[in-house]
Amino acid sequence: MMRDSHLYPGATSRHFTSMRLTCLTTIALWAPLNLAIGQQNFSFTGSVRLDEPVAVFERHELAEQPGDRIRIAFYNIENFTDSDDDGPDRTPERAAAQARDAAELIEEIEPHILFLAEIENAQALRILNEALHRPFPFGWITAYGAEDAQNEKLQNAVLSRFAPSEVLELDYGAKKGAGRPPRGALRASFDLGGGHRLMIYAVHLKSNYGYRPRNLYKRKHALQPVVENARAMLNNRDIRWEMVLIGDFNVDPELPEFQSDWSLSPLRGWTDLWRGTPIEDRTTVPTRYGDPAREFPPASFDRIFVTGDATTAPWRVSEPGVLQRGVNVRNVHALPGVDGHISDHYPVWVDLVR
């Protein structure tokens, strides 16, 4: 998620103005026109490329076997770079502090499989993993075709205590056109035995920064290949798939600001595990203070969707969880690795239980 604009469209980092609900109402009234404009201008061409992500470490001798409870987590660690040529504000000391504080939260959650967003490269993933008292034996990071230089730093990664059957990235870099999603998706599958397999997709969808219709189409276009890929897997009747989709969606469909947002429409038929949970219990992006123009209402952008056999015996998903620590809510300008600020997001998780 871009810190410049959590909820409201049309905001920029250099010229940020306060937008009230009246502005959002105006946007909603103009939505049909915007959709027509968007449909005309925000298309794309090209196919999704299935690539193997970068294998950062694989220590099969330390692999664990899935038991009767599998914890799956996601953490968008804000701008987690390796501090190499990342500017004067990103020193090795700050990178180490951000890794150390993030590791503390990760160890409290104790995930078996952890998906990450905004990880720069393999070295950044190593820095994070080595900050753990018990590092993960397996780690991969994507190498998405970037829309611009900024997105080159916003890779997805996965750390796992289990040896996966397969790890692949859905890369949208070969697509062309104004509606092309900026990134892709990372997927990993695990053999649960007895003809059951776990498939997890992780996404980091387009932020609300910039022109709203374009953002809606980019998010929708990013989800469609994931849903189609999952549907193809589910068509294999010889395997019972427990399907989980987790990530930063940059949308909270239960907030008034997103009532006219249709970008998650490809997920009809999937179960949104946060639905119906009070906002105070599902906040993953809290309000941060210190600049009235950037004091946004709390939101639940980090969401978990399931389909397939993930809600039927013998495996069922639990209620989701969020560890609401690691954000400096007193100072919206705090940088990662400074004053205890890890990220503008909280980490989330869900258990798959037999």
Calculate the alpha carbon distances from 188 to 111, 149, 200, 313 in Å: 15, 26, 5, 22
Enter the tokens of residue 145: 């075709």
What is the average per-residue pLDDT within 280-307? 97
Q: Is the pLDDT of residue 12 over 80?
A: no
pLDDT in tens, 321-335: 999 999 999 999 999
Could you tell me which of 286, 269, 248 has the C-alpha nearest to residue 156? 248
Residue 47 — very low, low, confident or very high, per pLDDT cuts 50/70/90? confident
Confidence (pLDDT) at 206: 96
Say what the pTM is. 0.88
Residue 43 — very low, low, confident or very high, per pLDDT cuts 50/70/90? confident
Q: In degrees to the nearest 10, what's the CA dihedral of 34, 173, 117, 275?
A: 40
Could you tell me which of 99, 89, 91, 87 has the C-alpha nearest to residue 125? 99
pLDDT in tens, 55-108: 999 999 999 999 999 999 999 999 999 999 999 999 999 999 999 999 999 999
Query: What is the rounded distance in angstroms from the CA atom of residue 191 to the CA atom of residue 70?
Result: 12
CA 197, 161, 230, 48 dihedral sign is negative
Domains of the chain with CATH codes: 21-353 (3.60.10.10)
